[in-house]
């Protein structure tokens, strides 16, 4: 039912298998909940609901540890001294947000302790504990000590004040500004709960293409109301700051960051915000990018702009997340090089409370991009990863694409900046070069659709983002497994094929949209469907033809040293690897090289044939996904089954659309027949 869709991965399905259930019942005699904060109340309520729903009965609530088989839930300071002693070495292993879930025996009585240094850590532990039961894992001998490896785990909502969502495909914004602050939609609470269950601890409420009005007192009252809802769930609120706000809402003549009146205006604004929201997170800023105002409007640079704002929030413990997504039409020879060229020289020049937010790739959230060369290249500057959870270039919320597979590929990529093993994950968690701030952002795919994310499987992308934000070394297949069990069913006959379907889906979209390193050939503006022919946009780097450069001699963007030399922005090991078409990974071939249609691929095929076969492979993969899903009918409720079935049908139709459109278009240049195995255009 629609209710199932709404409940995300927190279904807490009743456990039908009596053997499985009995282990849980034995271990869950009573709950001893310590602590009285709002957060502790949430922990207790969650535990009670989860257990009741899954086991059919609620354990006794006990005010003190009596008898056997209790779950003791409380933070370190709330534990008695015996427990504190027993767990001392475990507490040494976790940071403030970490947790411990441990089976212990005290005075010959068996107990399970769920604890952390503070109440939010405990709450994270409770969700982990419940997930064990959701996933039918044993709880008889627990010893889990876990803590987030990244400090700022943040959703970016590209939500406008009129409730439209830029690149949002799941309805309108959750934030009902008109009814706030007095009306608190239950949805805000459910949103906070879902985020807390996967460890997300921050949310930027507003679009990076910011409207300064959000910083006016009327709106700040509404932001405060949301912050109050989110706080007990461990979630801080952030806002986007429009750089020209001092002019637009402050009545100043300039927004020059070196102007004292401007700096003071921001200081006052920060004070005003912190008066209302003492734990306000800070600002996310898109400046001098795609027409947004910024310090360069006044002949200043990104350092001036970011540091001025950093000074304003520093007294209150706030931070500035400054985006590096910049490119300009005035230097359009290679858009992929611009952010690095502009930001790399700034290394070490930002204030301590600034973190630079970098998209995972150098262009823009494509189905596949090599990792952004800034990662590892600014050792003196904290860099925050920006992933896009909403599928702007990957079929919106219509196509099933399991993104954690993409995220993992980026996180695992080796930058070689400090020799082999210098992965992107180690850059962003501060283990490669120590950083005061570490962070990861995901552009949200959430809206007010009944199922939150439009496509039922897009919920997995929200979930998976949270899990990887917590631990960027997790395996995306493990995450898919957890998500499927928590969201649908534990039946192995369901899990196995459907997990394969999810895992395949990422490569499928690459194959039917942009195989072999092609990129940005989506139809322009909305970015849905193919548009490799588009070439008439005013800014050269907005045209798909700029990216594929197909002509009768071949196809691809030469970023090697015979071309734009973008390869030189990578560490030497990679530069050499990418520079040579023979050693360049084939998945990125046309990203870095312009090659003749007859170029021989590793499998012996010509580039033209290989490309055509990749498009066909993508189509075949979607057909296979459809078959897999159709076979799963008996494991899934009617409503979600049908939704996904219809969506996969569209996806199959559109995979063929992509294949036919791209191959017919490129064929004009290659002048070659389609190879055997590729279906003729429909
Ligand atoms: O991906 C592009 C989008 C814009 C977006 C911009 C950005 C919010 O097409 O819609 O603007 O990137 O990330 O700033």
Q: Relative to the CA of 289, which ligand 1 atom is closest?
A: 14
Q: Is the pLDDT of residue 30 over 80?
A: yes
Q: Phi and psi (nearest 5°) for 102?
A: -145, 135
Terminal CA-CA length for the chain: 37
pLDDT of residue 308: 98
Percent residues over pLDDT 70 in the chain: 100
Residues 125-153: what's their mean pLDDT?
A: 98
Domain ranges of the chain: 2-146, 152-483, 511-557+594-670
Distance, CA of 662 to chain centre: 29
Query: What is the whole-number distance in angstroms between the Cα of residue 56 and the centre of ligand 1?
Result: 47
419 pLDDT above the threshold of 70: yes
Q: Is the pLDDT of residue 539 over 90?
A: no
Alpha-carbon distance 519 to 4, whole Å? 36
Return the bridge partners of 320, or none: 283, 354
Pairing between strand 282-285 and 236-240? parallel
Vertex 243: Cα angle to 241 and 244 (nearest 5): 120
Q: What is the pLDDT of residue 529?
A: 98
Give me the pLDDT at residue 468, please. Answer: 99
For residue 278, pLDDT over 70 is answered with yes
Look up the ipTM and state it. Answer: 0.99
Q: CATH topology for 2-146? A: Chitobiase; domain 2 (3.30.379)
Which numeric CATH code is attached to 511-557+594-670? 3.90.1330.10
In the CATH scheme, what is the code of domain 152-483? 3.20.20.80
pLDDT, residue 637, reads 96
Residue-averaged pLDDT of the chain: 97
**pLDDT on residue 634:** 97
Taking CA 85 as the corner, what is the angle to CA 84 and CA 91, rounded to the nearest 5 degrees?
A: 60
633 exposure class (CB count in 10 Å sphere: 0-12, 13-18, 19+): exposed
Which comes out higher in pLDDT, residue 540 or 173?
A: 173
Q: Rounded to an integer, what distance in angstroms lies between the CA atom of residue 478 and that of residue 555?
A: 37
pLDDT at 436: 93
Would you mind telling me the total number of residues written for the chain in this entry?
Answer: 682
Domains 2-146 and 152-483 alike in fold: no
- Categorise residue 528: left if φ over 0, alpha if ψ from -120 to 50, beta otherwise: beta
Is residue 108 scored above 90 in pLDDT?
A: no
DSSP H or E segment with residue 133: helix 119-134
| Radius of gyration, alpha carbons of the chain | 26
Tell me the pLDDT tens digit for each residue of 324-380: 999 877 777 899 999 999 999 999 999 999 999 999 999 999 999 999 999 999 999
Residue to substitute in 243, 290, 326, 357 for testing ligand 1 pocket (most ligand atoms within 8 angstroms of CB): 290
Q: Which atom of ligand 1 is nearest to the CA of 286?
A: 14
Q: How confident is the model at residue 682 (pLDDT cuts 50, 70, 90)?
A: confident
Q: Cβ distance 557 to 591 under 8 Å? A: yes
Q: How far is CA 241 from the centre of its chain?
A: 21
Pairing outcome for strands 99-106 and 109-116: antiparallel
Q: Is the CB of 392 under 6 A from ligand 1?
A: yes
pLDDT at 330: 72
CA distances from 656 to 534, 659, 662 (A): 19, 5, 10
C-alpha separations of 345 from 215, 330, 378 in Å: 32, 20, 8
Record the tokens describing residue 579, joined without a space.
């520079």
Distance CA 264, CA 275 (A): 16
> From the CB of 158, is ligand 1 less than 6 Å away?
yes
Nearest CA to ligand 1 atom 2: 364
- Whether the predicted pLDDT of 1 surpasses 70: no
pTM of the model: 0.98
Could you give the CA distance from residue 402 to residue 501 in angstroms, rounded to a whole number?
9
Ligand 1 centroid – CA 368 distance (Å): 17
Each residue of 171-208: pLDDT tens digit? 999 999 999 999 999 999 999 999 999 999 999 999 99
Q: How confident is the model at residue 454 (pLDDT cuts 50, 70, 90)?
A: very high
Best residue for ligand 1 mutational test, from 156, 157, 166 (most atoms within 8 Å of Cβ) = 166
Residue 63's pLDDT is 85
> Is 417 within 8 Å of 552 (Cβ atoms)?
no
Tell me the pLDDT band of 136, cut-offs 50, 70 and 90: very high
On whether the CB atoms of residues 629 and 594 are closer than 8 A, the answer is no
Rounded distance from Cα 461 to ligand 1 centre (Å): 19
Q: Mean of the pLDDT values across residues 479-502?
A: 98
Catalytic residues: 290, 364, 392
* Cα separation values, 201 from 242, 245, 296, 451, Å: 23, 27, 32, 22
Residues 613-646 pLDDT 10s: 999 999 999 999 999 999 999 999 999 999 999 9
**Cβ atoms of residues 531 and 520 within 8 Å:** no
Distance 165 CA to ligand 1 centre (A): 12
Q: Are 566 and 345 in contact (CB under 8 A)?
A: no
Q: What is the pLDDT of residue 327?
A: 87
Ranking 9-13, 105-109, 604-608 by mean pLDDT, the lowest is 105-109
Q: Is the pLDDT of residue 262 over 70?
A: yes
């Amino acid at each position: 039912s629609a209710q199932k869709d709404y409940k995300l991965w927190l279904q807490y399905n009743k456990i039908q298998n009596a053997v499985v259930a009995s282990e849980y019942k034995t271990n869950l005699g009573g709950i001893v909940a310590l602590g009285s904060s709002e957060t502790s109340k949430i922990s207790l309520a969650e535990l009670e609901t989860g257990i009741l729903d899954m086991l059919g009965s609620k354990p006794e609530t006990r005010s003190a540890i009596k008898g056997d088989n209790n779950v003791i839930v409380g933070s370190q300071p709330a534990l008695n001294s015996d427990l504190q002693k027993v767990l001392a070495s475990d507490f040494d292993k976790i940071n403030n947000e970490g947790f411990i879930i441990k089976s212990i025996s005290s005075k010959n009585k068996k107990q399970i302790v769920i604890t952390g240094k503070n109440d939010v850590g405990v709450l994270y532990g409770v969700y982990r504990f419940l997930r064990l039961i959701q996933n039918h894992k044993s709880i008889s001998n627990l010893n889990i000590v876990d803590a987030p490896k990244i400090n700022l785990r943040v959703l970016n909502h590209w939500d406008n004040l009129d409730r439209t969502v830029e690149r949002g495909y799941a309805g309108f914004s959750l934030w009902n500004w008109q009814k706030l602050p007095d009306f608190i939609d239950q949805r805000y609470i459910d949103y906070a709960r879902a985020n807390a269950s996967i460890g997300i601890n921050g949310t930027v409420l507003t679009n990076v293409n910011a409207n300064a009005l959000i910083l006016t007192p009327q709106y700040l009252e509404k932001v405060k109301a949301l912050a109050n809802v989110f706080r007990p769930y461990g979630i801080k609120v952030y806002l986007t700051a429009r750089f020209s706000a001092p002019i637009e809402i402050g009545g100043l003549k300039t927004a020059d960051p070196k102007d004292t009146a401007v700096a003071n205006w921001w200081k006052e604004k920060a004070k005003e915000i912190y008066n209302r929201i003492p734990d306000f997170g800070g600002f996310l800023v898109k400046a001098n990018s795609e027409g947004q105002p910024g310090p360069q409007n006044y002949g200043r640079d990104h350092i001036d702009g970011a540091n001025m704002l950093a000074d304003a929030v520093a007294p209150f413990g706030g931070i500035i997340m400054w985006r590096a997504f910049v490119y300009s039409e005035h230097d359009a020879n290679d858009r992929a090089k611009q952010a690095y060229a502009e930001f790399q020289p700034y290394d070490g020049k930002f204030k301590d409370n600034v973190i630079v937010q970098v998209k995972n790739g150098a262009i823009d959230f494509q189905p596949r991009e090599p990792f952004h060369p800034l990662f590892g290249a600014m050792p003196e500057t904290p860099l925050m990863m920006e992933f896009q959870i909403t599928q702007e270039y990957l079929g919106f919320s219509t196509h099933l694409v399991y993104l954690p597979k993409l995220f993992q590929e980026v996180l695992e990529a080796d930058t070689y900046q400090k020799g082999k093993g210098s992965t992107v994950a180690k850059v962003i968690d501060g283990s490669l070069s120590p950083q005061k701030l570490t962070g990861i952002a995901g552009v949200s795919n959430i809206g007010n659709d009944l199922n939150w994310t439009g496509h039922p499987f897009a919920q997995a992308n929200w979930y998976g983002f949270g899990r990887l934000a917590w631990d960027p070394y997790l395996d995306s297949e493990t995450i898919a497994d957890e998500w499927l069990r928590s969201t649908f069913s534990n039946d192995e006959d369901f899990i196995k094929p459907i997990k394969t379907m999810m895992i395949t889906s990422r490569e499928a979209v690459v194959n039917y949209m942009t195989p072999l390193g092609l990129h940005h050939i989506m139809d322009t503006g909305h970015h849905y469907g193919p548009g490799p022919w588009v070439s008439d946009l005013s800014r050269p780097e907005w045209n798909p033809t700029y990216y594929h450069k197909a002509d009768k001699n071949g196809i691809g963007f030469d970023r090697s040293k015979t071309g734009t030399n973008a390869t030189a922005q990578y560490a030497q090991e990679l530069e050499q690897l990418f520079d040579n078409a023979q050693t360049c990974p084939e998945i990125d071939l046309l990203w870095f090289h312009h090659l003749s249609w007859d170029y021989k691929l590793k499998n012996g095929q010509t580039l033209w044939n290989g490309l055509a076969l990749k498009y066909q492979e993508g189509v075949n993969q979607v057909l296979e996904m459809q078959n897999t899903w159709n076979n799963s009918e008996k494991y899934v409720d009617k409503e979600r089954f049908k939704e996904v079935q219809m969506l996969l049908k569209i996806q199959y139709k559109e995979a063929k659309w992509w294949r036919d459109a791209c191959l017919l278009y490129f064929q004009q240049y290659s002048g070659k027949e389609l190879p055997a195995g590729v279906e003729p255009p429909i």
